[in-house]
């Protein structure tokens, strides 16, 4: 795991953290419901991208594909953990 991702996941998140990153933090810490609530509120492409991952994690592939399309991203074919790490790294870069 990339050091920046490890550092991000090791600390609690706060309101200064973007909603997509907060959603990913909750997902990485096993709280799918909190993650989904954070992702669902956002209307931006980053939130849609995270929303796609969460529905993929849930096993709802059709819904995941809808959210990937809204995010303008291809459907990810690798592991959930790899996708989550890649998302966190990309969102941390801004």
pLDDT tens-digit series, residues 42-78: 899 999 999 999 999 999 999 999 999 999 999 999 9
CA distance 12 to 4: 14
The pTM (predicted TM-score) of the whole model is 0.93
Residues 6+ apart with CB under 8 A from 57: 27, 32, 80
Evaluate whether residue 86 is within a structural domain.
Answer: yes
Evaluate whether residue 26 is within a structural domain.
Answer: yes
Domain range for 37 is 16-93
What pLDDT is stored for residue 42 in this prediction?
A: 87
Number of structural domains, the chain? 1
Evaluate whether residue 75 is within a structural domain.
Answer: yes
Evaluate whether residue 4 is within a structural domain.
Answer: no
pLDDT band at 91 (very low <50, low <70, confident <90, very high): very high
């Amino acid at each position: 795991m990339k050091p920046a991702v490890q550092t991000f996941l090791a600390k609690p998140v706060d309101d200064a953290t973007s909603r997509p990153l907060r959603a990913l933090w909750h997902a990485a810490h096993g709280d799918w419901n909190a993650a989904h609530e954070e992702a669902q509120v956002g209307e931006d492409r980053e939130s849609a991208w995270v929303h796609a991952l969460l529905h993929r994690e849930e096993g709802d592939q059709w819904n995941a594909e809808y959210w990937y399309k809204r995010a303008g991203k291809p459907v990810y074919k690798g592991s959930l953990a790899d996708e989550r790490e890649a998302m966190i790294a990309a969102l941390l870069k801004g």
